[in-house]
Amino acid sequence: MEKTQIMKAKNVKEYFPIRKGIFSTVKDYVKAVDNVNFFIKKGETFGLVGESGCGKTTLGRTLIQLIPPTNGTVYFMGNNLSDISKSELRKLRLHMQIVFQDPSSSLNPRMTVKQIIGEPIKINSKLKNEEITQKVLLLLKTVGLDEQHMYRFPHEFSGGQKQRIGIARALALNPDFIVLDEPTSALDVSVQAKILNLFKDLQKKFNLTYLFITHDLSVIKYISDRVAVMYAGKIVELSPTKELFKKQLHPYTIALLCCIPIPDPKIKKEFIVIKGEVPSLINPPSGCKFHPRCPKRMPKCKEIEPELIEINNEHFVACHLYP
């Protein structure tokens, strides 16, 4: 593993068993993440897009070991996370944090802001109460809140402010890598922009690496350096953001990106409508998982599953149309 790579996923699978019957025998699996390979460079923002239920949130959780992967390996800062001892994993895990989608359910309603942000510090250090208070105050200021918010409860804040508290909590342990799981989806547009800018500032200040999960393509375009497009538990295309928005290769990505509205009424756009339904993750289609809905499908798409291969410089795609 190269030094520039902070995280690397190798053949990562996350299957959730479906149990049925009185003996809870495993009847089938939900293949939420199916054989995913990629790496994240230190200091970059790696975007992960896909429609609802394609497994992008699960992938984020799997990478930081909130749900250990069913199969495959995750490397973090040079360590194989499935191969190290529990205590080492505990320590390493503190370098990986997460900011959640729904700010109202990600904060304990019975704790004050100081307790919420102070808790990670309290658990992982032997600092005295006053020192923790000082640290919390500093964190609050970093995310654009101040002293007066310290002793309030989460229900007294707006969505954007709650999200800031969630960010402060994630920052409390000085992490290197943060999974941002649709952190702006629950916020209105004006607040979204502020939070996105906060992420950018924090990244510069603390030298953070982000995995940014979202279904909002304009957000991805704004914030990420590289993007992976997920479909039915697989990465179908992976490329630097600029390149991807200039030239998409996978038919799914093409259809996805043409949906971004352009704020100009004179431009007439042709919409490619993807027909059919999102495939079931329990019984995904054979071969390429997109083939039942693909406008350009060929006979072999049904038979053989395409591999993720590099077409151009750092532009990967999993499709039989290429090379």
Q: Assess 137 for contact with other proteins (CB under 8 A).
A: no
Q: Which is nearer to other proteins, 212 or 252 (CB)?
A: 212
36, 91 Cβ separation under 8 angstroms? no
Q: Assess 79 for contact with other proteins (CB under 8 A).
A: no
Q: Assess 119 for contact with other proteins (CB under 8 A).
A: yes
Q: Assess 223 for contact with other proteins (CB under 8 A).
A: no
Q: For residues 156-175, which are near other proteins according to CB under 8 A? A: 156, 166, 169-170, 172-173
- Minimum separation from the CB atom of position 53 to other proteins (A): 17
Among 16, 29, 39, 153, binds other proteins (CB under 8 A): 153
Among 40, 59, 81, 98, binds other proteins (CB under 8 A): 98
Q: Which is nearer to other proteins, 211 or 244 (CB)?
A: 211
Q: Assess 21 for contact with other proteins (CB under 8 A).
A: no
- Minimum separation from the CB atom of position 194 to other proteins (A): 21
Q: For residues 246-265, which are near other proteins according to CB under 8 A? A: none
Q: Which is nearer to other proteins, 156 or 310 (CB)?
A: 156
Among 151, 258, 280, 286, binds other proteins (CB under 8 A): 151
Q: Assess 18 for contact with other proteins (CB under 8 A).
A: no
Q: Assess 77 for contact with other proteins (CB under 8 A).
A: no
Instruction: List residues binding other proteins (CB under 8 A).
Output: 24, 61, 64, 66, 90, 93-94, 96-98, 100-102, 105-110, 112, 119-120, 123-124, 151-153, 156, 166, 169-170, 172-173
